[in-house]
Structure 1
Amino acid sequence: MTGNIQFYNDNARHVAQQYLSKSFEEIHASVLSYITPVLNKTDARILDIGAGAGRDAKYLAAEGQSQNVSVIAVEPAKLLADIGKQTTQNLNVNWLEDSLPALAKVTRQEVSFDLILLSAVWMHVPESERARSLRKLANLLKPGGKLVISLRHSQAEHTADPRIMYAVCADELKNLGKKVGLFCLSETERENDKLGRDEVSWQTVVLQLPDDGSGAFPFIRHVATNDGKSATHKLALLRVLLRIADGHPGAVLRRESSLYGDRVILPAGLVALYWCHQYKDLIDKHQLFQTPNKNPNMGFMKPAGWHKLTHRTAADYRIGHLFTGDDAIALHKTLSDALSNIKAMPCKYITLPNSEQGVFEVASKPVRAKDSIFLDLTTLTQWGEFSLPEHIWLAFNRYACWIEPVLVSEWVNTMLSYSGNAGYRTVEKHYILHEALNWLEPKRSTTEIRQRFEQLQQDQTQYCVWTAKTLKQKYNIDHCMPFSRWPNNDLWNLLPADSQINNQKNDRLPSEQKLKAAKERMLHWWQSAWLEEIPFEMCEFMTDQISSASLINSQCNLWKQRFFAEANIALPGLSKVNSSIDDVFEALVMQRGRLKEMQQLREW
């Protein structure tokens, strides 16, 4: 593929002139009837792979402009992409330098598409990479999404053209599609080349994803409702992974190919942290038994770890939190013990159907306990890596609101079967178990943000991020992404707003246009509130662990650390070391689209 990229860079202007000489309608006339309905769909998302000089991306974005259709254009040849960016200027097109089979940058966005177009691309994909490529493309489709692939047939692939190309076959493509749950909507007849090359002909195959296409739902349901459970470990692991997929798309370190399909790699420490989060109050506060015997202690509850943190609550086990002193040492040990338990129990016993092959894998590392631990992605990666099949990750990511009630219900039923919980078996007490399994979403709290706002207001005028109106006595701290639908108290999500405007917005999702119009004011607030030097008097609000003035002073930078720690894990497409607020904003726009798509929220 590298040689072809070099060819397209070396010949960018000539190739662009050639491609732009023909219109989208000319090239794709035979499949327009499948593409047009997507352009008429509100907020549709389209992926154009091998976007070249931008001809197709321009048409798709322009035709879908009235419906707020967005296009991600993928082109690995940078010089050709530069021309494409000019072609699509002022349209809703986002360009990424990426390529098959990995599509690493696209998958990091954690979004799915109504339409994926590969025009004059498939012949560049070697046969050995086609199965993986189709699997990747299927995973990127929404249920009902269409995959349109044009096939270049030529009698002189390796002689007349300096590019590396491989023979293609519609039957091969359709068979590969079937294996990943795609069915064929259309296979066109071969057509003459629109550029007049006698040795070249084209046909187009349109594939569609009827549902999630992965078998993930039946598998998850089997583990949740039918699989044997000597304890609640299996349910706990599924729920941890669902919560990470639903709330932390930025937690994905990378994706890898394996014999059993692509896998998603997460920080093992994050899985252990959330494991402790969900068991913490369930055991310490509510004293509910999680095994059939009457021993309240589970394998990860050790004297030097778990039992030294009984004064803590589940809310302390969160990204952006600082532990110091003895608590930090105990937390190190607790996370290590939890990971060992996860590896020895649910990971060992959750296997593929009719197989001994494990579904989840842990590559753990020993971590030396220290007297300070700041919970962010970098820290939590020290414990190693946790991997799961990509199709299961995507099912958790897209359908969390349907899967979680099944897990919670089965967890309640499992606890009721244990003799230690016999006192809850009367129907009127079942609600206590359901309440105990609440994930303890963060409370709607804006106290520290109000304190920071009022401190800044003493020295400089503050403005509503949505209207630019000067804020005085009456103001609100607004959750940009509505708390009622996506509970999140991260610093990046809390913004000063005019009270009247905030009431008008209520629990609606800001439109993409409103969000982009507020960008400069939003970035200014982030910069002045959290990223510049923090005055000494504000540092006391950072953590309840700090006991001395010198330590408070040394920890003032935690606001900035916390801002990026929270953003980099909660928002899609950011690296764990990202420190750019511009990138945070672009990821916020992407997350807005994800919430709109997955929860069908009302827009403001």
Structure 2
Amino acid sequence: MSATTSFYDQNTTMLCEQYNSLAFEAVHQNWKAFWPHKGDRVLDVGAGSGRDTKWMAEQGCEIIALEPCDSFRKVGSAYTGAAVTWLDDALPALSKTENLGMRFDLILVSAVWMHLAPSHRERAFRKLSNLLASNGRLVITLRHGEFNDSRRNYGVSVEELEQFAKNSALLVRHISSSDDSFNRDGVHWQTVVMSLPDDGSGDLKRVRHIIVNDNKVATYKLALLRTLLRVADAHAGAVIDRSDGKVTISAGLVALYWIRQFKRLIDINIGGVGGIQQSANSSKGLGFVKDDGWNQLKHLVADDLTIGAMFLGEEAKALQKTFTHTLATIKSGPVTFIYQGDKNNRLFEIIPPTVKRKSLDSLVIDSEFLSSFGCFVLDESLWECFRLYNLWIEPLVVNQWILEMQRFELNRQRNITLQTYHDCLVWIDKDHDTRDIRKRVEQLRQQSVDIRSVWSGRKLKGEYHVDHCLPFAYWPNNDKWNLLPTTASENLKKSDKLPTAYRLQASKLRILDWWDLAWGQDDALQTRFFSEAALTLPNIPPQCQDFELVFEAMGLQVRGVKSRLLVGEW
């Protein structure tokens, strides 16, 4: 028996009187918005005297109370009565609780965490998070300050819980501080409330399981999730078919995004060794990196592989080989091994093209090219989950991807920095295509063409800015339709906001004039503009050549991003 447990066992009567002298409502007032409701299933970890347990039971909650101290458990169970089930169980194992097969709407860990050794906390947190029901809340109170008796405590911090929450795909909902209810010198408290989000269909829980709990010998599962998250968020026009509860997108688009996200990871040279290891088996190469494909394209960077880009000759052939190798890898890897329950109940499917595709000597990455590789099919509810909750899910995927890479031997040997991992997982170079827009502005200026701000009509003189109509910080996109010339002062005022519907409509003619001036006078530039718009914006047909239709679709996209991400307006 530890000194702490022994202290509680020997001082049960005194401590119970002390604890029960305070009401639940007074002690836990600072997280009142998250208190349990009638019918909620509650797990009270370290229930002690039963004060909190009794109050929650009186609210009509179904309670499981955990208490490893025999004397506390005896007194507490008598205090709460038969309405509460008491178990001899404790962190970090929670073995008896796990055997119940229950999930809880609220898990309360009050005045316990400081007793848990830091080496046990990550495991304990993972156990707790896996016991949460959808939308369940995990509440942990942190005691700061030393004991003046034989009880052992360890340092605690909100930052530690925030990192554990991030690793376990929980949202931090509330953080608060409070004085000690018994006015003990040097003692104060913090409360952290975390939750397991759910979209109502169970898809978020399913995605979280893949991110956090699925067995992984490589990063492929995470790579496919991030690919689909990006496609769902960035390409409203990507859906080829939506019927029978399924969504179909082009397999080529999935391959394109897969290749783009691996480009920085694989082509980087660190300490004379190429690439960051992506699987536990360092002697086995990546299935989609082959001499007749990927290795012929190492001179290209991720941002070269964009919608509307043109490739000729050997480059075109190597790119098509890379797409083919990539889809074969995705099909034999994550598509095969991401399933629910039965191995045959796969979440994703790749359907080959109905007509065998022929190798092209030249190509443009557009809808027609991407569709020639077949179709990728997933549940409509899962697609909507990716689309609506992208901003929450993607950082979790990236975080878990980094954790996986840090486990691999070659990466450990090279002491790859955390910043390097993050840099290699950056999706878009924010400045890459703004340079292209600036280049186009300068070309037009050299032709004595006046360039005016799309927001005000002011003539741009000297210093000017290129504005993302839909802010890059919330919706990373460098398509030509989204990049607009403006004055520096206007862009700084707009910052990371969306234009109001009124401002956008008032600027319509200026935006249309800019698009026509910059992209409508050259066939190649026009083709790229409309190829980007057709895949990115809603309700635009693949062969669209109408700037007004793109403008209307842009307005819909602005509204959609505002609704999903709650972005402010300018």
Q: Deviations over 1:159-211 (max 9, x none)?
A: xxxxxxxxxxxxxxxxxxxxxxxxxxxxxxxxxxxxxxxxxxxxxxxxxxx96
> 1:350 aligned to 2:316?
no
2:247 and 2:259 map into 1 onto residues whose CA distance is 22
Tell me if the contact between 1:478 and 1:497 (Cα under 8 Å) persists in the aligned partners. yes
Tell me if the contact between 2:293 and 2:320 (Cα under 8 Å) persists in the aligned partners. yes
1:198-597 pair list within 5 angstroms: 212-257=199-244, 262-286=245-269, 287-295=275-283, 297-365=285-353, 366-423=356-413, 429-443=417-431, 445-457=433-445, 458-532=447-521, 534=522, 557-597=523-563
2:434 and 2:257 map into 1 onto residues whose CA distance is 24
Tell me if the contact between 1:378 and 1:577 (Cα under 8 Å) persists in the aligned partners. no
SS of the residue 2:417 aligns to: helix
1:8-157 pair list within 5 angstroms: none
1:414 and 1:473 map into 2 onto residues whose CA distance is 48
1:379 and 1:486 map into 2 onto residues whose CA distance is 25
Tell me if the contact between 2:252 and 2:373 (Cα under 8 Å) persists in the aligned partners. yes
TM-score by length of 1: 0.58
One-letter code of the match for 2:344?
E
One-letter code of the match for 1:399?
Y
SS of the residue 2:484 aligns to: strand
1:239 and 1:321 map into 2 onto residues whose CA distance is 22
1:472 and 1:421 map into 2 onto residues whose CA distance is 49
What does residue 25 of structure 2 align with?
none
One-letter code of the match for 1:587?
A
| Cα deviation, residue 484, structure 1 | 2.9
Gap change, CA 1:225 and 1:290, over 3 Å in 2: same
1:440 and 1:523 map into 2 onto residues whose CA distance is 26
| Cα deviation, residue 321, structure 1 | 1.3
Q: Deviations over 1:519-577 (max 9, x none)?
A: 11111111122112x3xxxxxxxxxxxxxxxxxxxxxx220111011111121222222
Gap change, CA 1:445 and 1:331, over 3 Å in 2: closer
SS of the residue 1:253 aligns to: strand
What does residue 548 of structure 1 align with?
none
1:480 and 1:440 map into 2 onto residues whose CA distance is 16
| Cα deviation, residue 218, structure 1 | 1.1
Q: Deviations over 1:122-172 (max 9, x none)?
A: xxxxxxxxxxxxxxxxxxxxx9xxxxxxxxxxxxxxxxxxxxxxxxxxxxx
TM-score by length of 2: 0.61
1:280 and 1:469 map into 2 onto residues whose CA distance is 41
Tell me if the contact between 2:277 and 2:410 (Cα under 8 Å) persists in the aligned partners. yes
2:199 and 2:214 map into 1 onto residues whose CA distance is 22
Q: Deviations over 1:381-417 (max 9, x none)?
A: 0101101111111111011111112212221222223
Gap change, CA 1:255 and 1:422, over 3 Å in 2: same
1:406 and 1:395 map into 2 onto residues whose CA distance is 14
2:448 and 2:246 map into 1 onto residues whose CA distance is 51
| Cα deviation, residue 296, structure 1 | 5.7
Give the RMSD, CA atoms, in angstroms: 2.2
Runs of 5+ in structure 1 lacking a partner?
1-142, 144-209, 535-556
Gap change, CA 1:441 and 1:477, over 3 Å in 2: closer
Gap change, CA 1:469 and 1:413, over 3 Å in 2: closer
One-letter code of the match for 1:464?
S
Tell me if the contact between 1:336 and 1:367 (Cα under 8 Å) persists in the aligned partners. no
State, as a whole percentage, how many aligned pairs show the same letter: 41
Runs of 5+ in structure 2 lacking a partner?
1-134, 136-196, 270-274
What does residue 57 of structure 2 align with?
none
Tell me if the contact between 1:289 and 1:296 (Cα under 8 Å) persists in the aligned partners. no
Tell me if the contact between 2:303 and 2:432 (Cα under 8 Å) persists in the aligned partners. no
What does residue 62 of structure 1 align with?
none
SS of the residue 2:248 aligns to: strand
| Cα deviation, residue 355, structure 1 | 5.0
1:456 and 1:441 map into 2 onto residues whose CA distance is 24
| Cα deviation, residue 423, structure 1 | 2.1
List, as ranges, runs of 4+ consecutive aligned residues in structure 1 with deviation greater than 6 Å.
none
2:417 and 2:452 map into 1 onto residues whose CA distance is 49
One-letter code of the match for 1:594?
G
Tell me if the contact between 2:339 and 2:347 (Cα under 8 Å) persists in the aligned partners. yes
Gap change, CA 1:410 and 1:560, over 3 Å in 2: same
| Cα deviation, residue 354, structure 1 | 4.1
2:411 and 2:443 map into 1 onto residues whose CA distance is 50
Tell me if the contact between 1:565 and 1:576 (Cα under 8 Å) persists in the aligned partners. yes
SS of the residue 2:422 aligns to: helix
One-letter code of the match for 1:215?
G
| Cα deviation, residue 309, structure 1 | 1.2
Tell me if the contact between 1:289 and 1:295 (Cα under 8 Å) persists in the aligned partners. no
Q: Deviations over 1:350-384 (max 9, x none)?
A: 11234521110101234322221211122100101
